[in-house]
Amino acid sequence: MARIMVVEDDVYMREELTDLLRKSGYETASLFDFENAIPEITEYSPDLVLLDINLPFHSGFEICKELKAKQLGTVLVLTARDKLQDELHALGLGADDYLTKPCNIERLLARIKNLLRRKEEQIRQGLLDGNGFLLDPNTFTIYVGKSSSLMPPNEGKILLALLKKSPNLVTKHELCNVLWGTEECIDENALQVTFTRLRKTLREFGLEERIETVRGQGYRLKEQVRL
């Protein structure tokens, strides 16, 4: 389920938008602490931000610029400011779309759906197929269906190493080289702890059985059995 954050200071408009989006099947949250807008948005980690321009403490232009600099989600500006220069300014800052209020509900939902589909397509272009999951080799984000999880670097490095050699074995020496740049295992316990955490992450997606331990040799990522 896609996550959308509504950044709108008008209480009635904010409630209306939030209710509309939830009824349309989106996980939705609203921003209330406008003074700390960026940290609040970052913590929620939305797929799309529905952003007004006239806001307290920081203008929507400032927020849009910082969100894009940090690569934090898709930005759809929804504002009463209908001047062309405002639209061009927002788009120049990286906004992905610009709509003016009042806005037709069907048009708004269609634009949101299109932006989210475009984002998903862009993400999937750089993903590795794990036969049951997708892995972003740059951010170590794992995608299963419409769910995703950002893994810690060491977990991601191990899963990436296993995926690249799947279904072949990856030795402990190879994994130590991946984690610490040496084939000498610096910390056997740390390696085991990382594997335990990785299995816990995969368990959330029903994939914990994909990692097989080959006693005394190493590990492998088993191919998923299709029924």
Q: What is the pLDDT of residues 58-75, one digit of tens each?
A: 999 999 998 888 777 789
> Where do the structural domains in the chain lie, given as residue ranges?
3-125, 128-221
Taking the mean position of all CA atoms in its chain, how far away is CA 91? 22
pLDDT at residue 123, rounded to an integer: 67
Q: Please give the CATH architecture assigned to the domain spanning 128-221.
A: Orthogonal Bundle (1.10)
144 pairs with which residues across the strands? 147
56 with 75: CB under 8 angstroms? no
pLDDT at residue 186, rounded to an integer: 63
Out of 3.40.140.10, 3.20.20.70, 3.40.1410.10, 3.40.50.2300, the CATH code matching 3-125 is 3.40.50.2300
Higher pLDDT, 123 or 210: 210
Residue entry with tokens 């799947």: 166
Evaluate whether 3-125 and 128-221 have a shared fold: no
Q: Return the percent helix, strand and coil in the chain, to nearest 5.
A: 45, 20, 35
pLDDT category of residue 178 using cuts at 50, 70 and 90: confident
Q: What is the mean pLDDT of the chain?
A: 87
Over pLDDT 70: what percentage of the chain? 95
Residue entry with tokens 């997606």: 205
- On the 0-12 / 13-18 / 19+ scale of CB atoms within 10 A, 9 is middle
28 pairs with which residues across the strands? 4
| pTM reported for the whole predicted model | 0.59
Average pLDDT (68-96) is 89
Average pLDDT (142-169) is 88
CA atoms within 13 A on the CB side of 192: 4
